[in-house]
Structure 1
Amino acid sequence: MRPDGDHEPDDYGLPRVDVVVPDDARALAADVLAYRREERRRRRRERAARLVAPVTRFGVAVPIITLALLAALVSGGLMTAFGPRPTVRPTASLLERSPAAPAGEVDGPLPNGTVEFVTGRTERADLSTLRPGVIGIVPPGCACSGLVAKLSGTAREFELRFWLVADTRGRTFARDAVRRELRALAATAHEGSPQLVADPSGVLAGAYAPAAGTPGAGLTAVLVQADGIVADARTLPLSAAQPAPDLVGRIKELR
């Protein structure tokens, strides 16, 4: 500063700044604290930037993909836990080697013969493979959709299979017509999944169902144990809308 009190000229052309130096350094304590707070914020921002750098390096694609994978995992877990259960396929046991009755009778095995599963393709199988479960032999023109639905639901409740077979003895209908009739009956079984079986030779009907054309005769239920033994076979009247309680009990015993 010049003797007249004016400031010395600034050769650098910078604006004049008044710098006040306090006599006691403690007067700068507040400024020091503010500086340190700002430094801590800066370091936190730098650490956060380093953590998210691998994710943000490729833009928003990685976060979106990560969220999609998490959503798929959560939805898959929920579907597994609360989704519909598949139809149970019981494991077949060994066939009984010393039956109490001959084949084709109650307490004996199913008769010898083969059937065809009505699926997208022809699949032949031995009658002995129809176990354990309930075989429903349906006479021509059987108005027994309610009974079929009840039997199908009962079999599913006890984790058994239910097969529908048409009694083709003395019938002149084409094979496709018989299968359409079976499919129409199976479509009413909303509580189960009947498996349609074709028995062109009429082996099952000949063994367990009454003679063709018997008045008042409805569906014949054949109950087959896991060892291939027929536990019961009874023909229900056409008027029957559901299986009798004792028949339900016998079906339960097949498990």
Structure 2
Amino acid sequence: MSKADAVKVASALNAGETELFSPTEQSCAVVASPEFEYFPSKSKYLVHPSPELNALFAHKPYQGAAPERARFLFIGLDANYDAEIETKPIFSKVREYHDDGVAFWRKHGVHHPFLLPEYSGDGRRYHQSFSRIGFGPEHADLVSFIELLHVPTVGRNILAANNLDATHLNMLNAAILGGNPTHIFIPRSVAGLMRATGVFPWLAKVPQEQAGSLDLLFRTGTKTVYSHLHFSAYGKFTQRKAQEATAIRALLPRFS
């Protein structure tokens, strides 16, 4: 998305056009495969109204290290932000983070601006959970976060396969199979949507084996794809999340 497109999106949202895209209006629609059907008529997502945030995502549709260069790749659904994030004091740090997530982590000691003291909004739980795994600034250039949706969003969203951009999905597939990542982590709901696109035919429907508390969906050569709980899960999932964090921590390289 260009900055001009981002301005158009923001104008549409400000005018009250909340259901911004219909399934037929997607620029690069991906048809759901029959074995995992999604219902486009029920899908709904809102592109974030901030032109600057959209421009940042257009330049880098990922966070942290580039996905094809990272060793640890974490895949999500969409990057969700407060509707008024651009007007908040934290936005300068958000801008800095999206410009260079690796440098941000090394400078501030945390992997995401939502963990800084001046932020207290939504999204903090996800990043607090991730931080408990044990990644540190020394791992900054080894970690990448990427979402299936290539634009930032606001509010609660329901995504279907035809909401997704084919170019972005193909880039992700190439990063997984042909890039540097050796450990790829996909929450269960994310894996379901990935299968629905038809772009990831190698992604198993059921675990092929287990590595401690982590289910394995794919393994070839040096690459392993893991299924895990979403980092925002809580309540009855707390114990399982802690076990999965321990399993991921065991994969971290040791630096002297």
TM-score by length of structure 1 reads 0.27
What TM-score do you get using the length of structure 2 for normalisation?
0.27
Relative contact order (alpha carbons < 8 A, sep ≥ 6): 1 or 2 greater?
2
Higher gyration radius (CA): 1
